[in-house]
Amino acid sequence: MVNLGWKLALVAKGGAPAALLDTYEQERLPVMRDVLFKTESLTGLIGSENPIVRGLVNHLGPLIGGAGFVQESSAARMSQIAVGYRGGPLSEEHAHSGGLRAGDRVPDLRIRLQAGDAWEEDSLYGALDPLRFVLLVAHGETAAALDPGLRDAAAGWGDLVRLIELASPAETADSAKYKAALGHGSSIFLVRPDGYVGLAASEKAAAHELTAYRDKWITPA
């Protein structure tokens, strides 16, 4: 619903070309096929008339289904938190550090968020915005000065993008998660209104890539 909603809203307002709507089918059809395939496979397994298969399902099913990692994985898949769009038409991946990739859903992390001249601890989810794109500039342990070219490129999006600078939190465990996802160096992640990364790149190349992405998917005001 959210995947389609922000695209419809943007196209209806004249803020994006109609081709943006085609990406809904391109991103969601593989997910639908995967859900149907797994549902049919599970139904076939449970309804099997083979006595050996039925015996295994009856005796091992509760044990496997009760395992913690199975329940966590199943919950993530059923809620579609685990769904990703890597390689999709709106996912542009460029060289950068960190495990978060274009097409991935943004994870919830503890971060330090720039607020004026100070830095405040917050949740990454709290920085996202369902009404516009969010450009995350993820610094390492020490935040460097923002590239003026990147700020100008973000300004070219007008009200459609909100720029936020992040830094690694002080707590060791939280800092490790931050670096694993967002990297040790300065990287940028353009987050879509539905919480997925559309563009990922190093800060050095980000201004050019951000402008090219806008020229492809956003209609000039």
Tell me which residue of 166, 180, 84 sits closest to 127, measured CA to CA.
Answer: 166
Same domain as 10, residue 113: no
Q: Which has the higher per-residue pLDDT, 192 or 95?
A: 192
Q: Which domain holds residue 160?
A: 92-217
Q: Which has the higher per-residue pLDDT, 164 or 36?
A: 164
Q: How many whole angstroms separate alpha carbon 97 and alpha carbon 121? A: 22
Identify whether 41 is part of a domain. yes
pLDDT of residue 97: 78
pLDDT of residue 34: 78
Q: Residue 138: phi, psi to the nearest 5?
A: -95, 105
Q: How many whole angstroms separate alpha carbon 52 and alpha carbon 182? A: 48
Identify whether 84 is part of a domain. no
Q: How many whole angstroms separate alpha carbon 60 and alpha carbon 169? A: 43
Q: How many whole angstroms separate alpha carbon 66 and alpha carbon 29? A: 30
Same domain as 212, residue 109: yes
CA within 13 Å, CB half, 112: 16
Percent of the chain with pLDDT over 70: 84
Q: Which has the higher per-residue pLDDT, 64 or 157?
A: 157
Confidence band for 184, pLDDT divided at 50, 70 and 90:
confident
CB-based burial label for 54 (10 Å; 0-12, 13-18, 19+): middle
CA 80 to chain centre: 12
Identify whether 85 is part of a domain. no
pLDDT of residue 145: 77
Q: How many whole angstroms separate alpha carbon 92 and alpha carbon 31? A: 19
Identify whether 83 is part of a domain. no
Q: Residue 163: phi, psi to the nearest 5?
A: -95, 130
pLDDT of residue 80: 59
Identify whether 87 is part of a domain. no
Contact 34, 220 (CB under 8 A): no
pTM to 2 decimal places: 0.82
Confidence band for 198, pLDDT divided at 50, 70 and 90:
very high
Same domain as 97, residue 59: no
By mean pLDDT, which of 46-50, 166-170, 179-183 is the weakest?
46-50
Same domain as 125, residue 177: yes
**62-80 pLDDT tens trace:** 766 666 655 555 555 555 5
Contact 195, 128 (CB under 8 A): yes
Of 44, 78, 112, the residue at which a domain comes to its end is 78
Q: What is the CATH number of the domain that holds 143?
A: 3.40.30.120
Q: How many structural domains does the chain have? A: 2
Rg (CA), the chain: 21
**115-132 pLDDT tens trace:** 777 888 899 999 999 999
Same domain as 109, residue 18: no
Identify residue 17 by its one-letter amino acid code: P
Of 29, 53, 78, the residue at which a domain comes to its end is 78
Identify whether 86 is part of a domain. no
Of 78, 109, 133, the residue at which a domain comes to its end is 78
Q: How many whole angstroms separate alpha carbon 136 and alpha carbon 191? A: 7
